[in-house]
């Protein structure tokens, strides 16, 4: 008997459907990667703010952007909110990492099931050898 997850997903009927499904899965994986990267940058920005305002006097005025509006508060009010936001973002990153692992496993199973192998075009393989030497120079020399 098919499980609920298998029942929700229809089996691809031809090669093009398999390719489309695989491409969609890879696209989802890339979206998860990019979202994780974006959120990690936000966490580092929150850390910078926390490290900058923590040693300051708690009664000192500071400004915080809330929904596109700059609001005047004290460090005592802003610091806990920024720390909570940072913790919330870290939780989201943890969940996204779990989703990423599930998606990787799903893609691996899909590749195994349909015997999918990724091949690089021949011209890319040849270019990689040439890039090691001289390409970092940024010099273009024409014929003599």
Q: What pLDDT score was predicted for residue 137? A: 39
85 lies in some domain: yes
CATH number at residue 87: 1.10.287.370
Q: What pLDDT score was predicted for residue 143? A: 55
Q: Which long-range contacts (CB under 8 A, 24 or more apart) does 47-56 make?
A: 47/86, 49/82, 50/79, 50/82, 50/83, 50/86, 53/78, 53/79, 53/82, 54/79
Q: What pLDDT score was predicted for residue 120? A: 80
Name the pTM for this structure.
0.74
Report yes or no: 34 and 40 within 8 Å, Cβ to Cβ: no
Q: What pLDDT score was predicted for residue 10? A: 65
87 lies in some domain: yes
Task: Report DSSP letters for 28-81, one per residue.
Answer: HHHHHHHHHHHHHHHHHHHHHHHHHHTTS-TTSEEEEEETTEEEEEEHHHHHHH
Give the span between the Cα atoms of 60 and 65, in whole angstroms. 17
Q: What pLDDT score was predicted for residue 30? A: 97
- Range of the structural domain that residue 45 is part of: 15-114
Mean pLDDT by 10 residues, the chain (144 residues): 50 84 96 98 97 95 92 95 97 98 96 87 59 45 48
How many folded domains does the chain comprise? Answer: 1
53 lies in some domain: yes
**Angle made by CA atoms 107, 109, 110, in degrees to the nearest 5:** 60
Sign of the four-CA dihedral 33, 39, 40, 45: positive
Tell me the C-alpha to C-alpha distance, in Å, between residue 130 and each of 92, 119, 133, 143. 42, 19, 6, 18
């Amino acid at each position: 008997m098919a499980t609920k997850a298998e029942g929700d997903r229809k089996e691809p009927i031809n090669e093009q459907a398999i390719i489309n499904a695989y491409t969609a899965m890879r696209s989802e994986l890339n979206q998860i990667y990019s979202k994780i990267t974006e959120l990690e940058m936000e966490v580092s920005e929150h850390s910078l703010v926390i490290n900058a305002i923590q040693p300051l006097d708690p009664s000192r005025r500071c400004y915080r952007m809330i929904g596109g509006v700059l609001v005047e508060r004290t460090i005592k009010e802003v610091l806990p909110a920024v720390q909570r936001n940072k913790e919330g973002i870290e939780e989201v990153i943890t969940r996204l990492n779990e989703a990423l692992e599930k998606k990787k496993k799903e893609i691996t199973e899909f590749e195994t099931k349909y015997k999918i192998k990724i091949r690089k075009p021949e011209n890319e393989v040849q270019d990689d050898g040439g890039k090691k030497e001289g390409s970092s120079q940024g010099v273009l020399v024409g014929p003599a």
